[in-house]
Amino acid sequence: MPLSWLPTWCAASMSFYVEALNLQGLARSHVARDCHDQAWGAFLTILTDKAVEAGRSVIAVDARNTSQLCSACGALVPKPLGERWHRCACGYQADRDINAARNIYRLGESRQALTWSTGACVA
Ligand SMILES: [Zn+2]
């Protein structure tokens, strides 16, 4: 995958939020192929390098329930991995990955708020 867009992307963003995945654990499971664990690990290395060059940060957030929690109301909406659409009783619905991305963003922003209030960078 060409990554020529990455420096521009890093310069335009303050921080990047990613799920803190256990890549070694995934590599030992059958899920490894589905998660493209090696490609994801390589991408995170490149993203981190480019973000640091641009004076930005990459913040890993807890991956638990990012696709199960409703990003609109916070309700737990259990669904199997094969179910790709998030549909909540509150009325919010979206692609499963979009819902998870919104949760990851919210978690990352909350980590930033904690970082700024103490004055120490935990990223
Ligand atoms: Zn909801």
Centroid of ligand 1 to alpha carbon of 109 (angstroms): 19
Centroid of ligand 1 to alpha carbon of 114 (angstroms): 25
> d(Cα 107, Cα 71) in Å, to the nearest integer?
10
Centroid of ligand 1 to alpha carbon of 20 (angstroms): 24
Instruction: Indicate whether this model's pTM tops 0.75.
Output: no
Q: Which residues of 59-92 are buried (b: 16+ CB within 10 A; e: fewer)?
A: bbbebeebbbbbbeeeeebeeeeeeeebebeeeb
Ranges of residues in the chain whose predicted pLDDT is under 50:
1, 117, 123
Centroid of ligand 1 to alpha carbon of 87 (angstroms): 8
pLDDT digits (tens, 9 = 90+) for 71-83: 999 999 999 989 9
